[in-house]
Amino acid sequence: MSRIAASWSRFTGIVVKELIQLRRDRLTFGMMIGIPVLQLLLFGFAINSDPKHLPTAILVADQGVFSRTLVAGLQNSGYFDVVRSLRHEDEARQALRAGQIQFLVQIPYDFSRRLVRGERPALLVEADATDPAATSNALAALSGVIDTALAHDLKGPLAALAPGASPVELRVHRRYNPEGLTQYNIVPGLLGVILTMTMVLMTGLAMTRERERGTFENLLATPARPLEVMTGKIVPYILIGLIQVVLVLIAARWLFAVPLEGSIVLLFLVVLLFIATNLALGITISSLARNQLQAMQMTFFFFLPSILLSGFMFPFRGMPEWAQALGSILPLTHFLVLVRGILLKGSTTTELWPALWPIGAFLAAVIAIGLLFYRRTLD
């Protein structure tokens, strides 16, 4: 038998063995399918970066028409839900401290009168800004809300008080996601997160499991070579990864109505590259770790920065340069650019090249390290 045929025979042998073992390991198999579905439903529906209906309390000392207009305006904006109307400042502060309300709006007793006189009365808004993401959108909308609300009442003799037209006509186009839907951003991102988690973890355990059960000694005693073992263990998980991708994409399309602007073929090619990269990383972790626990720890050491520094959770451009540099090493960072680009922007291969090669480079580096550290002997 020629060398290549022998090598192919060993490779297929390992693939078949892994598939049989995977089929018998119901729990793992269930996790591989269950995790993506669960995470997608959970995070897809739960995560919202534009929170609305925030609990607001008002402290109104003024009985004039303008304060009523303002309160109605706040309500109508959708950001503020007036849940309480308070009389005392102490009570209001307490509610803010206790986190019962997100905003406290104070309208002083002579508000309407001073407004009519053109004295620019103060309107105090206090926000619980412990979580900036929760308040920033509402606060940004505030001045517009006030202008629109008052515009109705400032008519006739009061028209002079109405805010004048801005000298510049501002036109904003929110491209690729006009309604600013969080799901358009989160669901494609979840694809990357799910693949990173399951692929690295599952293969991370693959080799250490052999070592813990003592079967590694038998595998080593056979003529099987490192590359055959590594690739043979990777292939079955590529299939699983593709099943996960199809599940997520179906949900993205029919459940979350995320558009697919670009080429689906390109999408799958990118996904394949990403899956292969994560699997190679898992196998490498597997040959570095002494046991399954260590493999698990290493996986989480990689998984956490992947989620936090990749731009999945927080805007990538909001990080300082050193953090961006760190994030640029991670395949997930580039995969997010790729998958969001293909789904939302309809990007082409040429446009995506700057995000493609770093993943390829990561893959090559990881395989090199893996082959270097694969133990051919029991030393």
Binding site for another protein (CB under 8 A): 1, 5-6, 9-10, 12-13, 16-17, 20-21, 24-25, 213-225, 376-379
Q: Please give, one letter per residue, the 3-state secondary structure of 247-259.
A: HHHHHHHHCCCCC
Give the Cα separation of 21 and 231 in Å (integer). Answer: 16
DSSP state of 99: T
Q: Which is nearer to another protein, 155 or 290 (CB)?
A: 290
Question: Half-sphere exposure of residue 235, counting CA atoms within 13 Å on the CB side?
Answer: 15
Amino acid at position 227, single letter:
L
Amino acid at position 312, single letter:
F
Specify which residues 103 forms β-bridges with.
56, 127
Give the Cα separation of 342 and 335 in Å (integer). Answer: 10
Beta-strand ranges (E) seen in 152-223 are none
CB of 19 to another protein, least distance (A): 11
- At 285, give phi and psi (nearest 5°): -55, -40
CB of 226 to another protein, least distance (A): 12
- At 173, give phi and psi (nearest 5°): -110, 115
CB of 205 to another protein, least distance (A): 14
CB of 7 to another protein, least distance (A): 9
Q: Which is nearer to another protein, 6 or 368 (CB)?
A: 6
Q: Which is nearer to another protein, 222 or 349 (CB)?
A: 222
Q: Which is nearer to another protein, 15 or 289 (CB)?
A: 15
Task: Report yes or no: 291 and 212 within 8 Å, Cβ to Cβ.
Answer: yes
Q: Which is nearer to another protein, 317 or 376 (CB)?
A: 376
Strands 103-107 and 124-127: antiparallel
Q: Which is nearer to another protein, 173 or 376 (CB)?
A: 376
Q: What angle do CA 285, 287, 293 make, to 5 degrees?
A: 60
CB atoms within 10 A of CB 213: 11
Task: Report yes or no: 267 and 259 within 8 Å, Cβ to Cβ.
Answer: no
136: enclosing H helix or E strand? helix 132-153
CB of 223 to another protein, least distance (A): 5
CB of 232 to another protein, least distance (A): 10
Task: Report yes or no: 327 and 310 within 8 Å, Cβ to Cβ.
Answer: yes
Q: Which is nearer to another protein, 221 or 265 (CB)?
A: 221
Q: Which is nearer to another protein, 160 or 378 (CB)?
A: 378
Measured CA to CA in angstroms, residue 206 lies from 284, 289, 350, 356 at distances of 10, 11, 36, 27
CB of 203 to another protein, least distance (A): 17
CB of 373 to another protein, least distance (A): 16
Structure tokens at 327: 């994030």
CB of 220 to another protein, least distance (A): 6
Q: Which is nearer to another protein, 9 or 94 (CB)?
A: 9
Give the Cα separation of 43 and 47 in Å (integer). Answer: 5
